[in-house]
């Protein structure tokens, strides 16, 4: 049973606009969440993370929002750039972080 879900397999956005990628989770024990970005033929690379004690974390064009009551997190990219075109995975963990649970990914295409 998947504990982390990304229900949108793909998303297309015009360059300069906002990209919003969503992620839902079922396990209320999760206390740390991460977003990874993956280009074809490369491994995922860490993008941004958030602890459950926060509801927002920002790093440049990337902002992650966490809504614990809804068990939902989202990644906002603004403005979107063609180089942002990639597959984005959200992941969650709890306690020591030994176990990570990943979503199936959302493929973002930013159209120039």
| Residue ranges in contact with another protein by CB under 8 A | 2, 4, 32, 34, 36, 41-46, 49, 89, 91, 93, 96-105
Contact present, 73 and 65 (Cβ < 8 Å): yes
Per DSSP, the three-state class of 1 is coil
Provide, rounded to whole angstroms, the least separation between the CB of residue 15 and another protein: 27
Q: Which is nearer to another protein, 41 or 112 (CB)?
A: 41
Provide, rounded to whole angstroms, the least separation between the CB of residue 29 and another protein: 15
Parallel, antiparallel or unpaired: strands 106-111 and 32-38: unpaired
Parallel, antiparallel or unpaired: strands 32-38 and 45-51: antiparallel
Q: Which is nearer to another protein, 54 or 100 (CB)?
A: 100
Q: What does the block give as tokens for 8?
A: 């949108």
Provide, rounded to whole angstroms, the least separation between the CB of residue 9 and another protein: 8
Which residues is 81 bridged to in the sheet?
A: none
Return d(Cα 100, Cα 32) in angstroms, integer: 10
Provide, rounded to whole angstroms, the least separation between the CB of residue 60 and another protein: 17
Q: Which is nearer to another protein, 80 or 91 (CB)?
A: 91
């Amino acid at each position: 049973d998947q504990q982390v879900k990304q229900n949108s397999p793909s998303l297309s956005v015009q360059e300069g606009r906002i990209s919003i990628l969503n992620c839902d989770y079922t396990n209320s024990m999760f206390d740390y969440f991460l977003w990874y970005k993956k280009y074809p033929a490369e491994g995922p690379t860490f993008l941004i993370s958030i602890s459950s004690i926060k509801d927002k974390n920002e790093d440049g064009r990337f902002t992650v929002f966490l809504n614990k009551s809804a068990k939902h997190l989202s990644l906002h990219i603004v403005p979107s750039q063609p180089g942002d075109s990639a597959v984005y995975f959200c992941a969650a963990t709890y306690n020591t972080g030994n176990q990570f649970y990943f979503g199936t990914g959302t493929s973002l295409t930013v159209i120039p």
